[in-house]
Structure 1
Amino acid sequence: MSTILITVLIITGIATLLAFLLTFADAYIADYGECKIIVNKDEELVVEGGSSLLSSLTEHDIYLPSACGGKGSCGYCKCKINEGAGPVLPTELSYLTEEDVENNIRLTCQVKVKEDMYIEIPEDLLHAKKYTAVVETAKDLTPNIRFLKLKITDGQEIEFLAGQYVQLLAPPYPGNPDEVYRAYSIASSTTETNSIDLIIGYVPDGIVTTYVHKHLSEGDEVSFNGPFGDFYLNDSDKDAVLVAVSTGMAPIRSILYEMLHKEIDRNTVFYFGARTREDLFMLDEMEMFEESLPRFKFVPVLSRATEEDQWEGEEGRVTDLIEKYLEEGENKEAYLCGGAPMIKSTIEALVEKGFKEEMIYFDEF
């Protein structure tokens, strides 16, 4: 047994050493020189080889969505690479379909620029911009959720669809040596072109959430890029079912302001889930929407209501509300925002009510 253990340790050590040497060689010895990136056959970028395609594009003000900040864990930063990408990497496979691979779709955060590349990027993504802003408002909505209003100060205006997101940059700060981007849904009305609202929850050890909750103050300068995303309010007369938990409120708030601004008159219900009464927020705005939108109803539900809450409303999860109140899903569409388990269970509950899956839109965080 000891001989087998020693053998395994030796093999593991050798493999680790080889991996380190390859990484070191690729980072510090390999010199790829200048490389060209041809975008959509008509734009030529000259970059220094060795960096990821995602970061190389960012340096030239081309911003692809990357909710994970280029860590290879979200799968958003795809683009078509017709030449120069090399073989598909194991780190990409779980985010690429067979059709993606057949059509040369790759994850730009995982593909390193080592030679000239010919790539294709959808035109709508080429319209994403970088913005400089100042924190006009920073306030706590709950002990773990913060509201930011970022006023754009670089002379630009932002145009977005209700439901889309931006990527906020956290600069180096104590405990974080690198710049890091993370994606957050825009919570404001599309009529506000000089600023955006964000609703950001605190995640222990989260790089950007720690920056927002522990280091960012009113008056500070920030950067973000966007907008991104294909989650937005459709032009439809179908009944709308909105479902969110926690900071999933953000894109739904933007959608409600869109309905208010455009005087959209649709049967609309918003099921919102929180743990305790302390975790509910923006109730005054929800009341305003109920008063201003003729056929809108807000239904909050608490999953961990306590005696101290003195809660007389709904208890359970948002899926319980769907099962309890929602009639058949014919002529209805749903907009969901929350974590992966919540999205999965909500889709299942809606499908059981007769919703067509193509009529269920979601923003997963």
Structure 2
Amino acid sequence: METFIVAPLIVGGVVAALGLLISILDGIVNNYGEVVVNINNHTKDLTVKGGAPLLRSLSQEKIFIPSACGGKGSCGACKAVINSDVGPLLPTETPYMSEEEKAGNVRLACQVKVKKDIDIEIPEELFNVREYNAVVESTRVMTYDIVELYLKLDQPVKFKAGMYMQLVIPSYKAKKKGDMSFKGTTMRAYSISSPPSDNQSAEFLVRAMPDGRGIATSYVHHHLEPGMHIQTIGPFGDFYLQENDTTMICIGGGSGMAPFRSILRHMKESNMMDREVWYFFGCRDYPDIYYLAEMRALEKEWPNFHCIFALSDQELHEPEEWDESVFGPRSAIIKGRIDHVVARYMKEEISPDSGFEAYLCGGPMMIKGCTIVLLEQGVSQDNIYYDEF
């Protein structure tokens, strides 16, 4: 009996000792000391402790590169040009790199460790990215899987309509059996749905993952409450309103409503209502529709604005009560896949005289299908802007 008790204790002690020894050796062997990060030809030089990923080294110095996955190497967003020899591209980087980017020394900042002095290039606008301490002002259930999150910020934020910010998700424990728990800290990117004029706040639309297991979405849907504190970083992104006179074709789905809501509210506030806008929003069924009354009210105030909700499911569950004074006629809801609906309207309803500019926000399959339609209808690839998630 004593053997069965003592043996595991001995093995455990040996394992613990080996772990400690490895930790000590790692600290000695991989002690890179202080290294210098030269940014944009000495526009800014940082002295950091060597050995950490570039993404983390920069964020610790309050320079934030976009990273929708929180530095896990699964989003491909944290790209930077690295002009120093940091070794070959890793298998975790290559799926996110075009041939042009590979030739141009583009790397993922979360995958490159800073082991010696390093020269990098990043967009100048990233120097304006800030970290904000926010208080949850409100959370509002919009559909069975989408929550509107409204935050009050500790300082004003300056952004263009259509850009996004990153929510910093802390550790949390499951409230009940079957719920998700998370240990550590990560970040997730969400488009800002509030207009730039509301610069002391930030509003987001957060859609739950289909399996309910999303780290960030579970936290927002099941843990965040009014009065709680959360950090957010931004703004980021090159998906924003281009100011010209072309006809806008906007296509979204799910939480892809967010950037368009920011853009439309900004356009109305800025008296840009001479511009023609066609907004197509794809849903599966009636329960997926939200902000419908708001869009119908906007149509009445803005004659050049047209909003079409398209429902793709074969069997639809129409609500028993329908207030036409709020929602408009049932016929205003089109049945069909979003790319088919867009194609029909562009062929039959929308004049090409002013030229086209297209904005797409949603999942990859929706974006792919609608891009094909847009190109077939004569929209230039250079005039198609994407926010894919």
Structure 1 length-normalised TM: 0.89
Alignment partner, residue 201 of structure 1 = 207
Q: What residue is the counterpart of 2:306 in the other structure? A: 297
Say yes or no: does 1:222 pair with 2:230.
yes
Name the structure 1 match of 2:316. 306
Correspondences of 1:119-268 after superposition (within 5 Å): 119-153=120-154, 156-174=155-173, 175-203=181-209, 204-264=212-272, 265-268=274-277
* Counterpart in the other structure of 1:39: 39
The reply to whether residue 30 of structure 1 matches residue 30 of structure 2 is: yes
**Does structure 1 residue 347 correspond to structure 2 residue 367?**
no
Q: CA deviation at 1:362?
A: 1.3
* Corresponding residue SS for 1:132: strand
Deviates more, 1:31-40 or 1:125-134: 31-40
CA distance, structure 2, for counterparts of residue 24 and residue 288 of structure 1: 66
Deviations 1:114-133 (A, max 9, x none): 11111122111111111111
Letter in structure 1 aligned against 2:33:
G
Deviations 1:74-101 (A, max 9, x none): 2211111112522222211122223323
2:280 corresponding residue in structure 1: 271
Q: Secondary structure at the match of 1:337?
A: strand
**Residue 325 of structure 1: which of 342, 345, 348 is its match?**
345
Residues 216-267 of structure 1: per-residue CA shift (max 9 Å, x gap): 1111111111111111111110011111011100001011011101111111
Task: Report if aligned partners of 1:84, 1:118 keep a CA contact under 8 Å in 2.
Answer: no
Q: 2: CA distance between counterparts of 1:27 and 1:314?
A: 63
Cα-Cα RMSD:
2.0
Larger radius of gyration: 2
Rounded Cα–Cα distance in structure 1 between residues aligned with 2:108 and 2:149: 31
Residues of 2 paired with 1:137 and 1:307: CA distance?
30
Superposed CA offset, 1:21-62 (max 9, x none):
x99986896222222212221322222222110011011100
Displacement of 1:306 after TM fit?
2.3
Instruction: Specify the SS of the correspondent of 1:288.
Output: helix
Aligned to 1:11: none
Percent identical pairs in the alignment equals 42
Say whether the 8 Å CA contact 1:27–1:50 is kept in structure 2: no
* Distance (whole Å) between structure 2 residues aligned to residue 74 and residue 23 of structure 1: 30
Distance verdict in 2 for CA 1:294–1:80, change over 3 Å: same
Q: Which moved more, 1:243-252 or 1:45-54?
A: 45-54
**Structure 1: 5+ residue stretches without partners:** 1-21
- Give the C-alpha shift of residue 329 in structure 1: 5.1
Instruction: Give 2:115's aligned residue.
Output: 114
Q: 1:28 to 1:184 in 2, by over 3 A?
A: farther
User: Do the aligned partners of 2:162 and 2:262 also contact (CA within 8 Å) in 1?
Assistant: yes
Name the aligned partner's letter for residue 323 of structure 1. A
Greater CA deviation, 307-316 or 352-361?
307-316
Question: Which one-letter code corresponds to 1:287 in the other structure?
Answer: R
Tell me which residue corresponds to 2:79. 78
Q: How many residues align?
A: 342
Q: TM-score, normalised by structure 2?
A: 0.84
Which string of whole-angstrom CA distances, capped at 9 and with x for unpartnered residues, describes residues 258-311 of structure 1? Answer: 110111111111111111211111112112211222210111111225244466
2-side partners of 1:27 and 1:221: how far apart?
35
SS for the counterpart of 2:343 is helix
